[in-house]
Amino acid sequence: MKTDGEGRQASQAASASAARYFAEAAGLLERISKTQMSNLLRAAETLADAAAEGRSLFSFGASHAFMVTEELVYRAGGLMLMNPIQPHGMTLAVRPLTLTSKLERVIGLGRELLAQSPARKGDALVLTSTSGRNPVTLDMALLARETGIRTIAITSLAYVGKEASRHPCGKMLADLCDVVVDNCVPHGDTVMPVPGSHLRMAPVSTIASCAIANAMITATVELLAKRGIEPPVFQSANVEGGEAFNARLLEQHRDRIHYL
């Protein structure tokens, strides 16, 4: 049985670990801000150009990367024009969860998902994959290039040269997209050691990629506003008048909103 002193030491160690994770996450966001701003602004210009031309905007990611799409689509403070491409069988709603890893490696599946979506030439597509090596996202990027859909990658360049592509083309996501924003996530997506082990823990890809996504949309909205275009931005349905406001703008832009 632990003594009071031992319990306090364990609690202090745990507190230090938690504080270190916050520091690692904050440092990562600072690194992204310092190194990726020009790429992020190019991504925002890509989205703003497509929106200004009356085109549609899409987002895709498999497994945990789909959380970035969920962050972009149908939420308070977000741009109404962002549409999801559903990664069927590759979200945490599927059972067994291990199926997500198998399906994202199926050659050709990404092409079919994009082909069956409303995305067309001139539209813009955000593709999120930290490793950038799995076929579902690579196939989607390849078909987007063939189709004339503008592409933005949110990925980690730390994987380039360290891991091989799982697609026959031999390319990584960063090789196939028009704009690449490095989420600066370390190889392995972990930032802290497991005490007493050679293993590492504490993922940061969701924090990094969602921050990039929201910063990108913030810049996109700013660019649209400067062009004299009123950006349709969701207001919280949990504040008075928000739901009616959203309903009016959703109807106004219905031709480019495909998730209704």
pLDDT band at 15; cut points 50, 70, 90: confident
Asked if pLDDT for residue 21 goes beyond 90, the answer is yes
**pLDDT of 184-194, one tens digit each?**
999 999 999 99
- Tell me, what's the pLDDT at 14? 74
**pTM, two decimal places:** 0.94
Q: What would the CATH number be for the domain defined by 37-256?
A: 3.40.50.10490
In this prediction, residues 89-101 reach a mean pLDDT of 94
Asked if pLDDT for residue 6 goes beyond 60, the answer is no
- Tell me, what's the pLDDT at 4? 60
- Tell me, what's the pLDDT at 58? 98
Tell me the percentage of the chain whose pLDDT exceeds 90.
92
- The C-alpha angle with vertex 165 and arms to 161 and 167, in degrees rounded to 5, equals 160
- Tell me, what's the pLDDT at 71? 97
Rounded alpha-carbon distances, angstroms, from residue 247 to 2, 224, 239, 244: 58, 21, 14, 5
Say if CB 169 and CB 111 are below 8 A apart: no
Report which of residues 195 and 31 the model is more confident about.
31
pLDDT band at 5; cut points 50, 70, 90: low
Give the largest Cα separation in the chain, rounded: 68
Q: What is the DSSP-derived secondary structure letter of residue 194?
A: P
What angle separates helix 205-226 from helix 4-35, to the nearest 10 degrees? 40
**pLDDT of 127-162, one tens digit each?**
999 999 999 999 999 999 999 999 999 999 999 999
The string of DSSP letters for 202-246 reads ---HHHHHHHHHHHHHHHHHHHHHHTT----B---TTSTTHHHHH
In this prediction, residues 21-25 reach a mean pLDDT of 96
What average pLDDT is seen over the chain? 95
The string of DSSP letters for 85-105 reads PP-TT-STTSSSTTHHHHHTT
In this prediction, residues 30-44 reach a mean pLDDT of 98
In this prediction, residues 196-200 reach a mean pLDDT of 93
Residue type, 43: A
**pLDDT of 200-214, one tens digit each?**
999 999 999 999 999
**pLDDT of 225-237, one tens digit each?**
999 999 999 999 9
In this prediction, residues 192-197 reach a mean pLDDT of 92
pLDDT band at 2; cut points 50, 70, 90: low
In this prediction, residues 66-94 reach a mean pLDDT of 96
- Tell me, what's the pLDDT at 12? 79
Q: Using alpha carbons, select from 191, 218, 221 the residue that is nearest to residue 31.
A: 191
Could you tell me the residue ranges of all domains in the chain? 37-256
In this prediction, residues 17-29 reach a mean pLDDT of 95
- Tell me, what's the pLDDT at 13? 72
HSE of 44 in the Cβ direction (CA atoms, 13 Å)?
22
